[in-house]
Amino acid sequence: MQPLVLSVESFGRSYESHRAVDGLSFQLRAGEILGLVGPNGAGKTTTLRTIAGVLPVKEGRIVVGGFDLARDEERAKRNLRWIPDDPQPFDALTVLEHLEFTAALYGQRDWRARADELLERFELSEKRDAFGGELSRGMRQKLAFCCAWIARPALVLMDEPLSGLDPRGIRSAKHEIEELARAGTAVILSSHLLVLIEELATRLLILDRGRKVFEGTLDEARSRFPEHSRGSLEEIFFAATGEGAARKGGAGGAAT
């Protein structure tokens, strides 16, 4: 069995009186691509932002690469990269300087060849001397990919990572995500593009109103919802979430 990269235990988060995430537990092993899906407001971004260390862990325990995020934040964060849906690079650094800076931050000495390869693959070579503030949204996303990839991390978290990319960028990103996972990186991919999740994810985590309603492979989801035994992830999604699922008691009962 592959080593454990991430462990989330009884994680919860409230915003004033609103319960955004409740009692969420799951684990992730090296090489897995976890598809995180759920309706708007399900708690996906809150969960990702907390694992990324952007929001503090107030309830539960999150362990990244063996380090407790609340107690040993620096070492836990060293293992992970976070690609938000609208990355904001530094205005004063060029594209290449971002890669140099990120490589230095993570102690990657031989970064130059890898940087050239990534810039080529994401069609950013022509923009290597452009400043962060001069990049389009899609280019900012591509740069975030390159920075996340430069010093092969143990865990990558992505929130709608492909939403601003052109078709060639989408193809490169998908290829890179699969390559990275094959090399042992664990990936959490959150997206409303269920076709993308179906294509890339080796396991699914479905949230609804802050709670886990399903965790497992697509095949396991199909046997959990026998009426969709040959169904797409979209059909499973509708069966697992929303009013119908709650009324049938499927949501709570389906959680593993």
For ligand ATP, the binding residues (CB under 6 A) are: 15, 18, 20, 38, 40-46
Residue closer to ligand ATP by CB (options 96, 204) is 204
Nearest distance, CB of residue 15 and ligand ATP, angstroms: 3
CA distance 244 to 246: 5
By DSSP bridging, strand 203-208 and strand 59-64 are unpaired
Per-state percent for the chain, helix, strand, coil, to nearest 5: 40, 25, 30
Residue 88, helix vs strand vs coil:
coil
Nearest distance, CB of residue 206 and ligand ATP, angstroms: 11
In sequence order, what are the residues at sequence separation of 6 or more whose Cβ sits closer than 8 angstroms to the Cβ of residue 159? Answer: 44, 45, 48, 83, 84, 85, 190
Identify the CA nearest to 85 among candidates 56, 119, 125, 44: 44
The token pair that represents 226 in the structure block: 């026998």
Residue closer to ligand ATP by CB (options 43, 169) is 43
Nearest distance, CB of residue 24 and ligand ATP, angstroms: 11
Residue 49, helix vs strand vs coil:
helix
Nearest distance, CB of residue 89 and ligand ATP, angstroms: 22
Nearest distance, CB of residue 201 and ligand ATP, angstroms: 16
Residue closer to ligand ATP by CB (options 32, 159) is 159
Residue closer to ligand ATP by CB (options 141, 172) is 141
CA distance 62 to 69: 6
Residue closer to ligand ATP by CB (options 22, 235) is 22
